[in-house]
Amino acid sequence: MMQHVYHIDDDVFRQVDGPQGRDVVEQSNVYTVLALLPVEADGRLRYRVKSKEENFERIVTEEALSRLS
């Protein structure tokens, strides 16, 4: 069984995708993990996250996140 790397209330960076999936050079935004979601059919772990700068929540895959240093 796959284990989530991040936990509820962890602050993480979210990698932002640029045009046509290219990475954006700018620093990613800081998000807080709100919920750990079940593994989807594609086998990737997902999280519900929210930035203090946005009025909505996002669902992101684990590979789009990294720890704050």
Question: What is the per-residue pLDDT across 3-60, written as a single tens digit (0 to 9) for each?
Answer: 899 999 999 998 876 666 565 545 558 999 999 998 888 889 999 999 988 899 999 9
> Is 32 within the bounds of a domain?
yes
3 within domain boundaries: no
Which DSSP state fits 26? S
Contact (CB, 8 A) for 12 and 61: no
CA geometry: angle at 48 spanning 15 and 28, to 5°?
20
pLDDT at position 15: 80
Phi and psi dihedrals of 62, rounded to 5? -60, -35
This prediction's pTM: 0.80
Beta strands in 22-62 (DSSP E): 29-37, 46-50, 57-61
Residue 36, both tokens: 């750990």
Question: 46 lies in a domain?
Answer: yes
Residue 55, domain member (yes or no) = yes
Tell me which residue range forms the domain holding 43.
Answer: 11-67
Contact 10, 32 (CB under 8 A): yes
- 1 within domain boundaries: no
